[in-house]
Structure 1
Amino acid sequence: MTSPFGTAAVRQDVIPLPRLDPDPGSVAYIDTETTGLGGGAGTYIFAAAVATPIDCGLRVAQFFLPEPGMESAFLHALREELERAESLATFNGGSFDLPVLRTRWVMARMPGELSHAAHVDLLTLVRALYRHRLETCTLRFVEERVLGYERDDPLPSALVPEAYFEYLRAGSLDFLEAALEHNRLDVISLVHLHSRLLLRLNGAETGMDAADWLALGRHRFRRGAKADGWRALRNATSFAKGDASATAGLLISRRLLRRGSIAAADRLLGWLEASVTEDIRLSVARARLLEWRRRDASSALSVVEAALHRMPDQAPDLEHRRARLRRKLASGRDSRRKRQSRQIQVEAFIGDSPL
């Protein structure tokens, strides 16, 4: 590919792509390979793959830097490719790929920003929606655990920079081709991962459990989609078992209390407390509600004593609350007796006074 800076090394192909449901739309997926992971002015991008879904499949354009002296042509060609896209999708691109690209463009005296601002970092979504299921969020692990396939990769990620250095030193093409194939497989995975994440974001993925719905609800609330957040938290609560259901119920009850729906929050916590019997958080939350929102210390004490009976191992956390509630009730009874005594004295005085 020719450019104002010379010839850029680019190869393109179109591969079959099954119909994506949901369809991510007009997105350019980009993955880069660099000479190091530190970023900064000394880090070069030596390969970049850009995948764009088209009518007949997936178009993959792969850009390569044959030698550092050809970087301007490489960067210009890559920039031209990305400018055509309506939005970008990366995997950790917000923290790595795009900052390195901006640095290289600026150093080559090119604009440091693309004209479109839309960018989705798929790693951010993976962490928000799947972190509770994954030991690590590397792309390879996500492929295995979320997409359900094990990649036949010719080269581990850690060896990719070394493949480029070996090419520069000795012209080793086999090692380099393995690195470029790794780059190509990375970007193809992003397309399928984006579709799967959209399915989860829409709440349309089958087999979601309470922890999945809880993660989705939290993410939706953080993004300001309150209706979707409510729906996801309700779905998590409806499982009525385990830590995730209890957590979702607590989040809903707090929002109900902020809206002044005290009775609804009490009913929800009572139902969950009867279902998730070993979660002390539910009993404590309901006791607080009864004591401070309903001014019913007696019922709050009953909740705490029932929790102590169900969860004797939690006694250190509940005994202090029970003792305080007992003191509060005793103090209240003393105050009532004193008021009644004073009232009797006043009535007796009035009765003895001459008219």
Structure 2
Amino acid sequence: MKVKDRLRRLTGERIETPGSPPDKEVITELRKKIQAILERSPVGSTPKDARYTGGSVRLEQVITGEEVRTPQGMFFFSRTVFTDTTYHGIMRIGDFPRIGMDSLGILAKNPVISLHEPCHALFLDTETTGLSGGTGTFPFLVGLGWFEGDHFITCQLFARDFSEEKALLSFLQELSSDKKFLVTFNGKAYDLPLLASRYILNRLEDPFLGKEHLDLLHPCRRLLGHRLENTRLATLESSILGLNRRGDIPGFEIPQRYFDWLRRRDGRLMEDVFEHNRIDVISMAAITKHLSDLLDGSLATQSVPGVDLFCVARLHLERGNTDASRSLLEGLLCSPDTGVAKQARETLSLLHKKAGRWNEAVVIWEKMLEDDVLDIFASVELAKWCEHRVSDYDRAIQLVSRVLEQHPFLSEELQWSLEYRLRRLLRRTLRKHPTEGS
């Protein structure tokens, strides 16, 4: 046995025998990558590298920008202004700054953010030499975005080689100094820890340390993930923003593209990377606007899936905004989506119950039983009310017995719980109506 195989056996890794077939998951993933590359390359087209033949092209010839000189060195800087009449998918740039700051505070679970203005937001995204992070990962391109009036500004800081990192990081300190909070997409887990490590290595102060932060990934999962295949940025763009990127470079190709740039210094190699990063930044602003509108009710109700509104109501409830949650739930009681209507009734009834509004809660439970006489939730809650609030043991016994006798699908745990409740009710009935002579 080889030394490597012995080490794998000691660490618990699977030892592959010669000729053993690859894992099914590995094959599936490889096929997906091959298909993605084929879809981007029309049949009969020349190989990808053929686009970069005929000598190198300077970066400034394909990307609008300039070299910036600082006391720490040089780097490349690109700035783009998107006017208020520009559209990003179905959304107009001019509408982006009209963000409800109270909603952002709720999304971030940080009320301090609600004290700021939309112009104080700094949208940030990085492109790096590796997707796993770690000390050896180098952020060669930092994309930023912010509002200026009704316009949206993007700035991109590009380290043309590793020696330009300190100048880039130093300039990033200056650009972010007047911004009060950050908006990222998975920045808590990736971008910010990576930048923090680079600032430490370059012996510079981290400008983002202690800054308020809204990571869009988490509220997107919370409010939209239930009906999407996944919550990747590209999926959100196509499903929510109506934006489909054409010819976009896949994220996994970007590190290699930068290494190719280091060898060949051909600006065309980085053109797609800059565009990819720029769209990421704009999409973050658009998604922020969408989530804000979803929370504060600015979107037309008929255009919003009921399940999204229910998720918003649940988020309001968890944040302690009971009035906002109650208003949304009441509007969903008669939703055409029966699943949403049922969830709304259950949640609203428990909200009434917690607040001591028993009459309102009972009305909802009775309505649920009218629609489904074997509704477990309504039967159990009504049985509790009959037993503990009005001492109507006979009605409680009827509700519990009907579910036990007629419901076709009861888990073992639920059946045990109902049987225990029924036995207790029967004992209480006997104590309330003892037999003659006892």
TM category (shorter chain) comes to 0.7 to 0.9
SS of alignment partner, residue 189 of structure 2? helix
The CA distance in 2 between the partners of 1:147 and 1:285, in whole Å, is 41
Confirm or deny: 8 A CA contact 1:272 1:282 kept in the other structure.
yes
> Could you tell me whether the CA contact under 8 Å between 2:192 and 2:208 is conserved in 1?
no
Tell me the CA shift for residue 284 of structure 1.
2.7
| CA–CA distance in structure 1, aligned partners of residues 407 and 217 of structure 2 | 42
C-alpha change, 1:265 and 1:36, in structure 2 (3 Å) is: same
> 1:176, 1:278 → 2: CA distance?
62
Which of 178, 185, 192 aligns to 1:84? It is 178
Instruction: Give 2:188's match in structure 1, choosing from 71, 94, 106.
Output: 94
Report the secondary structure of 2:333's partner residue. Answer: helix
Assess, with a 3 A threshold, how the Cα gap between structure 1 residues 279 and 82 changes in structure 2: closer, same or farther.
farther
Counterpart among 196, 204, 214 of residue 298 in structure 2: 204
Alpha-carbon spacing, 1:276–1:146, altered in 2? closer, same or farther (3 Å): farther
Offset from partner CA, 1:328-350 (integer Å, 9 cap, x none): 455445435547636xxxxxxxx
For structure 1, list consecutive stretches of 5 or more residues without a partner in the other structure: 343-355
Aligned partner (choices 253, 260, 267) of residue 173 of structure 1: 267
> RCO (CA 8 Å, sep 6+): is it higher in 1 or 2?
2
Determine whether 1:70 maps to 2:164.
Answer: yes
Q: What is residue 244 of structure 1 aligned with on the other side?
A: 340
* Equivalent in 360, 369, 383 of residue 264 of structure 1: 360
1:133 and 1:209 map into 2 onto residues whose CA distance is 9
1:74: Cα distance to partner? Answer: 0.8
Distance 1:76 1:182, change over 3 A: same
Is the 1:209–1:236 Cα contact (8 Å) retained in structure 2? no
Equivalent residue, structure 1, for 2:94:
19
Shift of 1:288: 3.0
The code of the aligned residue for 2:79 comes to Q
CA contact (8 A) 2:83 2:94 kept: no
**1:193 shift after superposition:** 1.3
Q: How does 1:21-60 map to 2 (within 5 A)?
A: 23-24=98-99, 25-26=118-119, 27-55=121-149, 57-60=151-154
Alignment of 1:1-355 (within 5 A): 1-17=68-84, 18-20=93-95, 23-24=98-99, 25-26=118-119, 27-55=121-149, 57-114=151-208, 117-206=211-300, 207-239=303-335, 242-275=338-371, 279-305=375-401, 307=403, 312-314=407-409, 327-328=423-424, 330-336=426-432, 338=434, 341=437
Per the TM alignment, residue 46 of structure 1 is displaced from its structure 2 partner at its CA by 0.6
Q: Distance in 1 between the 2:307 and 2:374 partners?
A: 17
C-alpha contact 1:51 1:58 (8 A) present in aligned 2: yes
Name whichever of 294-303 and 155-164 sits farther off: 294-303
CA deviation after TM superposition for structure 1 residue 274, in Å: 2.4
Contact 2:127 2:139 in 1 (8 A): yes
- Alpha-carbon spacing, 1:306–1:21, altered in 2? closer, same or farther (3 Å): farther
Q: Alignment partner of 2:239: what SS?
A: helix
Pair 70,276 (structure 1): closer, same or farther in 2 beyond 3 Å: farther
Separation in 2 of the partners of 1:194 and 1:337? 63
Q: Note if contact 1:210-1:237 (Cα within 8 Å) is conserved in structure 2.
A: no
Q: For 1:224 and 1:13, locate their aligned partners in 2 and report how far apart those are by CA, in whole Å.
A: 41
Tell me which residue corresponds to 2:39: none
Cα distance, 1:116 vs. partner?
Answer: 6.6
> How far, CA to CA, are the matches of 1:224 and 1:156 in structure 2?
41
Instruction: Quote the offset at 1:313 in angstroms.
Output: 2.1
Contact between 1:10 and 1:61, CA under 8 Å: does it hold in 2? Answer: yes
Q: Which runs of 5+ in 2 are unaligned?
A: 1-67, 85-92, 100-117
- Matched residues in 2 for 1:203 and 1:86: separation? 26
The aligned counterpart of 2:43 is none
**How many residues in Structure 1 have an aligned counterpart in Structure 2?**
341
Post-superposition offset of 1:315:
5.7
- Greater share of helix: 1
Alpha-carbon spacing, 1:132–1:333, altered in 2? closer, same or farther (3 Å): closer
Task: Tell me which amino acid in the other structure corresponds to 1:313.
Answer: P
Give the aligned residue type for 1:16.
T
Q: Which has the larger radius of gyration?
A: 1
Partners of 2:78 and 2:354 in 1: CA distance: 58
Pick which of 192-201 and 209-218 moved more: 209-218
Contact 2:183 2:216 in 1 (8 A): yes
- Hey, what does 1:351 align to over in structure 2? none
Secondary structure in structure 2 of the residue aligned to 1:95:
coil
Aligned to 2:365, the other structure's residue is in SS state helix
CA RMSD in angstroms comes to: 2.7
For normalisation by structure 2, the TM-score amounts to 0.70
